[in-house]
Structure 1
Amino acid sequence: MKRMMVAAIALCALAGCERAKQDMYDQPRYKTYAPSPLFEDGASARPPVAGTEPRARGAFADSSGGRHGVDLVQRDVGADEAQTNPYPVDMTLLKRGQDRYMIYCMPCHSPAGDGDGLVVRRGFPAPPSYHQDRLRNAPDRHIYDVIKNGYGVMVPYGDRVEPADRWAIVAFIRALQLSQHADVASLPPDVRARLGAQP
């Protein structure tokens, strides 16, 4: 009998916990711009505290780079509006592009850019090879826009890859294309000699 009594009390207590849990989800709250009698001005929305610094917006919001403010955002806008790569193509840019490519592009496009990445080998639709004439002859802006907005089954990466990194990836893709389709006449003499010596 005593056990039955303890079990009944436990069940009642558990039922009360469920109600308390539901109350946590259904807390009283104000909708945006709703009136409130708690404050003198009658508004529930509160103005920023004096001395509050505005945060960066756009691609730099919620990032450590956001603290640098308007200059970076303006540079970001300039890079996003450029029709050709606005950065000097040097080893620093290519290394950055390679790094970003390996993170965002390689799973589908493969390390060589031939469209045979690990995701494709597991059944995902194959992207086109970067080494086909259509993409070798496409303007840089086309590749940039595909990274930003997506294309076909490729999702947009505009929210993950900032404009400067998109241009770095474009530069690296151009290097990949050149690695497979370089004009032999444009190579340095020692490289041409090594190529001629190969069987």
Structure 2
Amino acid sequence: MRFLPGLLLPLVLLAACERAKQDMYDQPRYKTFAASTLFPDGASARMPPAGTQPRARGAFSDSTGGRKGGTAVQEDIAAETAQTNPYPVDLRLLKRGRERYMIYCLPCHSPVGDGDGLVVRRGFPAPPTYHQPRLREAPDRHIYEVITNGYGVMVPYADRIEPADRWAIVAFIRALQLSQNAPADGLPPDIRAKLDAQPETAAAAGATP
């Protein structure tokens, strides 16, 4: 029995550690944009140091200790540094890219990527069409960088589109470009036969009837 207190003490300490860890998440904090006397400018919200990047993902970064969030962080870093699309371009990726494109890109770039979106028709500056030679020949990384950092009047989307989803959008944009500029010689035989049966359509596609 004299050993019982020695056994109970570690259990009490372990329980206290879990409670202390939860207190770190529930600690007192300022409301958004609340005033503060702690800083000279009187604001509680602080600008992050130059060059910092947000890395936390999910509720409690996937675990109360934050240990499981490391995998997602490494995946983000790999996607952010890739010069070409690091993911297999399959139907799943294209569906994801189409979904994200319809949410973030369609209002300006239009469903087919010609830059005639609804906000453009209401006076917003028109973005360039994806179907011009310059953008058809641009590397994947260029499109990814524009999504990330913005370009001209287009705002950056890095804070709302995750790196993997930016590559999915790039893949979908490539599919849009191909849909409007597919070489007739690369079409399946049955579709090529239908195309050859329509001289006007075949000539527009660059095929010989």
Where does the alignment leave 5 or more consecutive residues of structure 1 unmatched?
A: 1-26, 33-56
- CA separation in 2, counterparts of 1:192 and 1:65? 54
Shift of 1:59: 5.2
For 1:31, give the aligned amino acid. Answer: L
TM-score (norm 2): 0.66
**1:128 maps to what in 2?**
128
For 1:122, give the aligned amino acid. Answer: R
For 1:118, give the aligned amino acid. Answer: L
Q: 1:66 aligns with which of 61, 70, 74?
A: 61
Identity of aligned residues (%): 68
Query: Once the two structures are superposed, what CA deviation does each residue of 1:70-124 show, in whole Å capped at 9, x if it has no partner?
Result: 0011011000000000000000000000000000000000000000000000000
**1:179 maps to what in 2?**
179
Shift of 1:64: 4.6
- CA separation in 1, counterparts of 2:155 and 2:141? 17
- CA separation in 1, counterparts of 2:128 and 2:115? 6
- CA separation in 2, counterparts of 1:150 and 1:29? 33
Q: Secondary structure at the match of 1:86?
A: coil
Shift of 1:184: 0.6
Q: Secondary structure at the match of 1:124?
A: coil
- CA separation in 1, counterparts of 2:121 and 2:36? 50
TM-score (norm 1): 0.70
Matched, 1:31 2:26: no
Shift of 1:60: 4.6
**Change in CA separation of 1:133 and 1:59 when aligned onto 2, cut-off 3 Å:** farther
Q: Aligned residue pairs: how many?
A: 148
**1:91 maps to what in 2?**
91
For 2:81, give the aligned amino acid. Answer: E
For 1:172, give the aligned amino acid. Answer: F
